[in-house]
């Protein structure tokens, strides 16, 4: 014959019996310890889901301990999360800016000009320029990556800067 049911929690009947036997007690334990505001019913369900996911690893005699430990940890995680949320809510939120609508409009226009000017660069200039200015790479690193000389990198970046100044009207 096969192995007995008591050796394997993955058997549906045993899992169902575990649920019926421990779910109410687990809920009450969580409710008494943490209250109702963190929804202990959900944590009970989550604990049983974790037990099902680990059913091959947990023996039947350790199932109750696994459930209570898992549910308690889930509640502690929820409490920690609530503390973070409350701490964030206490921080003063910036409701307005000191920027005028004109400034915001000018900034958007400048951004459009910059994007257009970057698009007008040659691919070689754009790659070298962005690697230097955005990624912060040095000329030597760019030369090694692109397999070109340092002088070629310098020429590409200085050419890109010159073209950008022309396209953005001297800004």
Q: What is the pLDDT of residues 106-160, one digit of tens each?
A: 888 888 888 888 888 898 998 999 899 988 999 999 999 889 999 999 999 999 9
Q: What is the rounded distance in angstroms from the CA atom of residue 126 to the CA atom of residue 107?
A: 22
Q: Where residue 126 sits, what CATH number does that domain have?
A: 1.10.10.10
At residue 56, the 3 state secondary structure works out as coil
d(CA 27, CA 36): 10
Same structural domain, 156 and 113: yes
Res 96: pLDDT: 67
| Same domain flag for 52 and 129 | no
At 19-30, the pLDDT tens digits run 999 999 999 988
* Assessment of whether the complete model's pTM goes beyond 0.85: no
Q: Is residue 116 a contact partner of residue 167, using CB atoms and an 8 Å limit?
A: yes
Task: End-to-end CA distance of the chain: give it in Å, rounded.
Answer: 85
Among 27, 59, 90, identify where a domain stops: 90
């Amino acid at each position: 014959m096969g192995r007995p049911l008591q050796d394997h929690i993955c058997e549906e009947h045993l899992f169902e019996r575990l649920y019926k036997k421990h779910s109410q007690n687990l809920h009450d334990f969580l409710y008494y310890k943490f209250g109702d505001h963190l929804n202990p019913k959900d944590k009970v369900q989550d604990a049983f889901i974790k037990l099902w996911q680990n059913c091959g690893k947990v023996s039947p005699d350790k199932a109750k301990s696994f459930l209570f430990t898992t549910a308690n940890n889930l509640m502690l995680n929820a409490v920690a999360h609530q503390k973070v949320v409350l701490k964030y809510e206490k921080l003063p939120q910036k409701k307005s800016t000191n920027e005028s609508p004109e400034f915001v409009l000018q900034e958007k226009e400048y951004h459009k000009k910059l994007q257009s000017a970057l698009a007008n660069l040659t691919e070689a200039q754009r790659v070298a320029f962005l690697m230097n200015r955005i990624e912060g790479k040095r000329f030597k690193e760019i030369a090694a990556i692109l397999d070109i000389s340092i002088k070629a990198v310098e020429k590409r970046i200085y050419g890109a800067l010159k073209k950008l100044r022309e396209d953005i009207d001297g800004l």
